[in-house]
Amino acid sequence: MKRRDFLKRAIKVFFSILAVAILSALVYIYPSKIKNRKLHYMYLMDEDDLPRKGVRKIEFEYKLEDRTITNRVFVVAGNDVLTAFSPVCTHLGCLVNWDNNKKEFLCPCHGGKYNMNGEVIAGPPPKPLTRLPLEIKDGKVYVGIKV
């Protein structure tokens, strides 16, 4: 083999190794612990405390990997229907607040607005608020969230 050909090949090998190194680095950066979240039912409140009509913000706590996490949901009581909404705005993930005077959910980040049924009435959100499953067992209310 001529010296020129050898050097050309050496350069090719060098860049191949570099490409492999960069690809491995990208895989390395990607989190390894992305597991599928499973639905867990968390205790929310007693059935007697449920709002009869209107919207109420409920905070609840649970443990995750020896940390206590405080989460919140909106429980909406309409005509014989009880719904739980996640407070996470479907636009870019801020937490919405309930405005009781205007009867709408308002996101503080970019002004997304949802009505009492979680449907978008103004602003950038692409989807309605996420509904969370509710379960009532032995007079206690549980909400299903993915953990």
Partner 1 sequence: MGKIFDWIDSRFGVKEPHKRFLQRPVPSNVNYSYCLGGMAFTYFLILAFTGLLLSIYYVPSEKEAFKSVVAITNEVTLGWLVRSLHKWSANLFIIFTILHTIRVFVYKAYRPPRELNWMAGVLGFVIAMASGFTGYLLPWDQKAYWATEVGTSMFGTVPLIGDYLMYAVRGGLDINGTTLIRFYSFHVLYLPVSMAVILWAHFHMVKKQGIAGGL
Interface with partner 1 by CB under 8 A: which residues?
26, 29-31, 33-34, 37, 91-94, 109
- Report H helices in 1-112: 3-29
Compare residues 94 and 116 and give the one whose CB is closer to partner 1: 94
SS3 label, residue 47: helix
CB of 143 to partner 1, least distance (A): 18
Compare residues 51 and 108 and give the one whose CB is closer to partner 1: 108
CB of 93 to partner 1, least distance (A): 4
CB of 31 to partner 1, least distance (A): 5
Q: What is the dihedral of CA 11, 15, 21, 26, to 10 degrees?
A: 170
Measured CA to CA in angstroms, residue 6 lies from 18, 19, 26, 77 at distances of 18, 20, 31, 77
Compare residues 83 and 90 and give the one whose CB is closer to partner 1: 90
